[in-house]
Amino acid sequence: MNQVLLLIDVQRNMLRPPAPVPAAQAVSATITTLLERARAAGAPVIFVRNNGGEGDPDVPGTPGWELVHEALPGERVIDKSTPDAFHDTDLAWLLPPTASVVVAGMQSEWCVRSTCLAALEHGHAVTLVRGGHATYDDGEPAADISRKVEEELAAAGVRMAEPSEPF
């Protein structure tokens, strides 16, 4: 299978102090494992990095903007400024038309959701890894928000997978 690992906003401001997501330790471990598995399988890896605006914790060039994992030679880094990683980026051109996209990253209800839906619209098979995405508490526990996003995306055609399944 032609799988591509798409890591969305796996940046220091989301996963490291001073304000990590509640599940930062667990989701970081899952993402690290996925990245290791993808690299071992020779699967392409694309990092999507959010460029925040003035006053945001992920303003380009700040420590919060930095990726948690270093991109290796041949791995691409795409910068975005909207939740949809396809919008105004080269992502659509970097993904082979028949690629199955395996998604992990931040924030479940924003960038993960928007990018998964956009990937479906571009004709890709999309897999979202359980435990490989997270968000902040916002009126309800973060875990509940992430679970609801999984339900919505599954209904839209995204496959849900355990961390041990892809690659």
44: nearest Cα among 5, 15, 79: 5
Under 8 Å between Cβ of 158 and 104: no
**Largest pairwise CA distance in the chain:** 42
Active site residue 116: no
User: Could you tell me which of 70, 130, 71, 80 has the C-alpha nearest to residue 110?
Assistant: 80
Q: Give me the half-sphere count of Cα atoms (radius 13 Å) on the Cβ side of residue 50.
A: 25
Distance CA 31, CA 35 (A): 6
The helix/strand/coil state of 13 is helix
CA-nearest of 51, 55, 54 to 11 is 51
The single residue of 15, 48, 104, 111 carrying the catalytic annotation is 111
Closest listed residue to residue 136, CA positions, set 153, 111, 116: 111
Where in the sequence numbering do the catalytic residues fall? Answer: 111
